[in-house]
Amino acid sequence: MTAPLPAPAPGWAITADVTVVGSGVAGLTAALHCAAAGLRTVIVTKARLDDGSTRWAQGGIAAALGEGDTPAQHRADTLTAGAGLCDEAAVTALVSEGPAAVRRLIGLGARFDETPGGGIALTREGGHRRRRIAHAGGDATGAEISRALVAAVREAGIETVENALALDLLKDAEGRAAGVTLHVMGEGRHDGVGAVHAPAVVLATGGMGQVFSVTTNPAVSTGDGVALALRAGAEVADLEFVQFHPTVLFLGAEAEGRQPLISEAVRGEGAHLVDAAGTRFMTGQHELAELAPRDIVAKAITRRMHEQGADHMYLDARHFGAAMWERRFPTILAACRAHGIDPVTAPVPVAPAAHYASGGVRTDLAGRTTVPGLYACGETACTGVHGANRLASNSLLEGLVFAERIAAAVAADLTPAGPPVPAPRDPAGGALLPAEARAAVQRVMTEGAGVLRSAAGLAAAGRALDRLAADGEHKAAEPGADTWETANLHLVARVLVAVAALRPETRGCHWREDHTERDDARWRRHLVAALTPGAAGRVLAVHPTGTAAFPATAVGPPGRPAVPPPTPEPAPRPVGAAVKRENPEP
């Protein structure tokens, strides 16, 4: 475990069997099932209970629910999108358990759009060869799922601490999870820095899209769970695979922060991608044209933009007509009109933006991480389902399926004992960057580690992030929510740049301009990173929190066999993380 974030000592504490950090589909589902198993459960959420990424999801949730569709077909589409890096056992669990998990969600009160005959209405999205996307409110699926789960949590009486930023993992003397420290922002029953003492901690904190200047993610998506896990000594995997959604509403070259998403379901219903001249450019690029997997569409848009010297393309759905727009995509229609664009009468300007982290905290099929007692699910986790590129609308399903698996694992793993006793901690922690460094991190990542990457760009990004760290050492900022978030973003950014520099190929949503081909012979394997105070093997660099090394061996997640690594490549620039390469499961 590396130095924790600098923070005051906890002034209050809650005791529980399990604490779930996050309140999206994964966190709320895990909490409900843990509570149903008789475990005292506490939910810690950064904003309000219904304010996570889930409620922003538009398109829907993918599952083999339609006539003629099967889990095997869903599995095949998922593996294709994952570009050779999916864990096949994880994908099989997802698609085989998914339909029942969706029906249980309906049993909790979630209301999906229906056909005239009363069945679940299904649509298509990129990479799916069947109509298997269930949606609600036309394009407000996430909001409906969040509503149903929040209502169920409140009905179950699960204790919740809102407006609370989780800081660091507590451990006992044996190195097991013993809870988390957190800071409650605002007045209420709890205020300031406190702790939840629990022998099981579930990270479900969502994504890290705010590490880039332009993203579809809400402001709370600052990579907190991944950063917390790294500081706790857990391994992360596939962090280089950040999916850029192809069709985000383009609001100008200077726009920053969260941008409105134009759901892939719009293309699923027949919208076309065109350039300024109205020419379709996805036909001939892929057999599915506009419904190709997201990485292919994002690359095609970016390539066309470069060819024409443009900063955006267009999504043309004028042929839908006003009635269809108002019925099927009311949220998107309102967002476009709020920005002066009417998709009923004009094509919608779009460009790719950071959307989803396919990698995250490395887990087994029950959500266990490499730290005993610490679990992860949802976008925070790397279960192996997504590989190098998430298939559209698999994320909500992953949250449901693996949250249920985690609850079963927690109930099985816990042994009768008294409240956990956290071991003494270093109260000082490392230096904090000033809050204004957040924008600098975002600019660096957008320029050097965005849609298009290269050795030169990644090296420049790494140097810039190092300079920010050095500046922070000389002029440390005061502890607070803004500086803690900035520290999390900076840590995640450094590790992401490190692993992206180590993958000299183009695969899935990792696009290297200087290595444009996929290289299965050498790189059909995972990159696993961890912060360590020391590591065996060839030392690459000394990081403020430890030493980076290429270990002589690679290990699998808990419950998976270890495999030997390939012959190491020449050492890249110093990166500050221990990185392993691991073969995927056969």
Given the residues 294, 362, 368, 390, select the one marked as catalytic: 294
Helix H, strand E, coil C: the string for 258-270 is: ECCECCHHHHHCC
Helices vs. strands in the chain: H and E counts, helices first: 14, 25
Domain boundary pick from 488, 503, 520 = 520
pLDDT at residue number 427: 61
Identify the pLDDT of residue 50: 79
| pLDDT score recorded for residue 510 | 96
364 and 228 co-located in one domain? yes
d(Cα 229, Cα 234) in Å, to the nearest integer? 5
**Which tokens is 62 given?**
């993918």
Residues 232 and 257 in one domain: no
Q: Does any domain span residue 571? A: no
Same domain as 338, residue 262: yes
User: How far apart (Å, rounded) are the C-alpha atoms in residues 178 and 18?
Assistant: 10
Domain with 220, as residue range(s), is 12-241+355-413
CA distance to 5, 222, 310, 375, 516, per residue, from 228 (Å) = 9, 11, 39, 12, 34
Task: Give the pLDDT confidence of 79-109 residue by residue, as tens digits.
Answer: 999 999 999 999 999 999 999 999 999 999 9
CATH number of the domain bearing residue 219: 3.50.50.60
294 annotated active-site: yes
279 plus 388 within the same structural domain: no
Asked if the structure places residue 68 within a domain, the reply is yes
Low-confidence ranges of the chain (pLDDT < 70): 1, 186-189, 426-429, 533-586
In a domain, 478, yes or no: yes
Query: Are residue 347 and residue 368 in the same domain, yes or no?
Result: no
Q: Same domain for 123 and 175?
A: yes
CATH number of the domain within which 443 lies:
1.20.58.100
Distance CA 407, CA 398 (A): 14
Angstrom distance (rounded) from CA 330 to CA 391: 24
> Which pLDDT does position 560 carry in this prediction?
35
* 161 shares a domain with 129: yes
How high is the pLDDT of residue 48? 87
The answer on 490 and 387 residing in a single domain is: no
Residue 581, in any domain of the structure: no
SS3 at position 124 = coil
DSSP string, 55-116: GG--S-EE-S-STT--HHHHHHHHHHHTTT---HHHHHHHHHHHHHHHHHHHHTT----B-T
Q: Tell whether 131 and 252 lie within a shared domain.
A: no
Q: Is residue 48 part of a domain?
A: yes
Domain end, chosen from 353, 372, 390, is at 353
Residue 216: inside a domain: yes
The number of distinct structural domains making up the chain is 3
- Kindly state whether residue 446 falls inside one of the protein's structural domains: yes
| Owner of token pair 């702790």 | 195
The answer to whether the predicted template modeling score (pTM) of the entire model surpasses 0.85 is yes
CATH of the domain at 316: 3.90.700.10
| d(C-alpha 458, C-alpha 443), whole Å | 13
Tokens of 432: 């904090």
Give Cβ neighbours of residue 481 (< 8 Å, ≥ 6 apart): 165, 183, 185
Last residue of a domain, one of 398, 413, 428: 413
Contact criterion met (CB below 8 Å) for 2 and 545:
yes
Residue 537 forms part of a structural domain: no
| Residues 471, 391 share a domain | no
* 248 & 374 share domain: no
110 and 258 share a domain?
Answer: no
